[in-house]
Amino acid sequence: MDSTISVSAASARAAESSAVVRKAVWRLMPLIFICYFFAFFDRINISFAKTALTVDLGISNTAYGLGASLFTIGYVLFEVPSNMILFRVGTRQWIARIMISWGLATAAMIFVTTEWQFYGLRFLIGSLEAGFSPGIIYYMTTWFPTSYRGRSTSYLFLAQAFSGMVGGPLAGTLLTYMDGVGGHEGWHWMFMFGGLPCIVLGVVVFKFLDNRIEDAKWLSADEKKQLLAAIDRTPQTGRGHSLLGALKTPGFLTLAVVYFMIQMASYGLNFWAPDLIKTAGGGNYLVVGALTAIPYVFGAITMVMIGRHADATGNRRYYSMACLFAGFVGFTASAYFSHDVTILVIALTIIGCGIVGGMPTFWAMPPKLVVGAGAAGGIALINTLGQVGGIVSPIMVGSIKDWTGSASPALYVIGGLCLLACIILGLFSSPQLKANDRELDRI
C-alpha cells in the first residue's frame, strides 16, 4: 500500500514538473525563436544578394566568398570572450547588446559602395553578433532539464529553418519589387529589413528576458522550486567546470572537430544554394527564393521529428550520425546533378533534412560534457572551432568555382567531410557521449 502511494506521489510530482517546464518553454521560446529567426536571416541574406552585389560592386565569386567568410572570422575571434562576458553580466543584458549593435551594422550595409567597404562591414557584423547562438544555447541549459533539451533546442533551430523557408521568398520579393524604391537598390531594402527589427528585438529582450529562474515573476514560488528541482535532478556528468577543464574533457574536442565539418556543410548550403539553383537554370529572384526555401521546409519537419525521437530514445549520437550520412548523400548528388534543377533541389532537400534537421540533436550533446562556466565557454569554443568551417567553406567553394567554372568539385569535398564526421562520431566518441540520455535523466 505504501509503495503504491509512493509511486502515485512520484507520478504526480513528475506531472507537475513537466507542466512547469512546458510553461517555461512557452514563455521563453517564442521570443528566442523570433530573435534567432533574424540572426539566421542576417547571416544568409547575403546569399540572395550575391548576383546584385557582383554587378553593383563588381566583385568575383572569390571576393563574395571572402566577404561571406569575413563575417565568420569576426564571429570566431570574439565568440568565446563574448560568451564569457555573458556568463558574468547576464544573458538578458548581453544578448540585448548583441542584437542592437548587429542590427545597426546590418542596416549600414546600404552605404556599401566598394569591395573593401563590403569586406569591412561583413567583418564588423560578425564581430558584433559573436556569442549570440552559443549564448542562447547555454541559457537554455540553465532553464531546461536534459530530457527537454532536445525539444527546446529543436524549437531554437526551427527558427533557423523557418528563416530559410520565409527568408528566401521574402528576399526574392524585396530584390524584385523594392529595387529602385526611394532611390535604393533592392538589396539595400533587404539589409534594412534584416537589421532594423533586431534593434527593436534587443530592447524587448532587455525588458522581458529573465536571467535566472529565481528572477521570473511569471513563476510562483512553488513553480520555481519545481523547475529548479527538475534541473537539479539532472546528473552533472560533465567534468568541464571551466574553459580549460572543458578542453581536457574526453570527447570535447571530438565534438569540436565534428562541428567544424557540420559547419562546412551548413555554410555550403546557406551561402551557395541560391547560386547553385540559379546556375542550374532556376529562374529569377522570386523563383530561386522559392526553390531555396524547400530544403529548409523539410529540414524544419525533420528537425522536430528528430528532436522528439531523440528525447524519447536518448540516442542522440546515432541520430546525429544518420543526419551526417544524409548530408554526404545530398552533397554528392548535388555535385553530380548540378545542371538538373529538379534533382538538384531534391539533393539540397536531403542536405536540409540532414544538416539543418540534425543541428539541435548535435547541440544537445555538449552539456553532457561541460557544466557551469565550462558550459558557457566550452559551448562557445565548440561553436567557434566549428565556425572556422564557415570561414573555409565559402572561400573554398567560390575559389573552386572561379578556377573550374563549376562548384561540383567543392560539393564532393563537403560531402566527403560529412561522411568523415559520421565516422568520427561513431568511432571516437567518449563513454559520456555514448551514454543513453534517458538513463541519465528522468522527470
Res 326 pLDDT > 90: yes
Report pLDDT for 63: 80
Q: Which helix (H) or strand (E) covers residue 204, if one does?
A: helix 186-208
Report pLDDT for 375: 56
Question: Which pLDDT band, with edges at 50, 70 and 90, does 258 fall under?
Answer: very high
What confidence tens digit (pLDDT) does each residue in 261-311 have?
Answer: 998 898 888 777 888 888 887 667 778 878 888 888 898 888 888 877 777
- State the number of CA atoms in the 13 A half-sphere of 125 facing the CB: 31
What confidence tens digit (pLDDT) does each residue in 94-126 have?
Answer: 999 999 998 999 888 888 888 888 888 889 988
Report pLDDT for 194: 85
Residue whose entry in the numeric block shows the C-alpha cell 529589413: 193
Res 322 pLDDT > 90: yes
Quick one: which of 269, 261, 378 has its CA closest to 40?
269
Q: Which amino acid is at 102?
A: W
Domain assignments of the chain as residue spans, ordered by start: 15-440
Bridge partners, 240 (sequence order): 370
Q: Which CATH number fits domain 15-440: 1.10.10.10, 3.30.300.30, 3.40.190.10, 1.20.1250.20?
A: 1.20.1250.20
| Residue 370, φ and ψ in degrees, nearest 5 | -130, 145
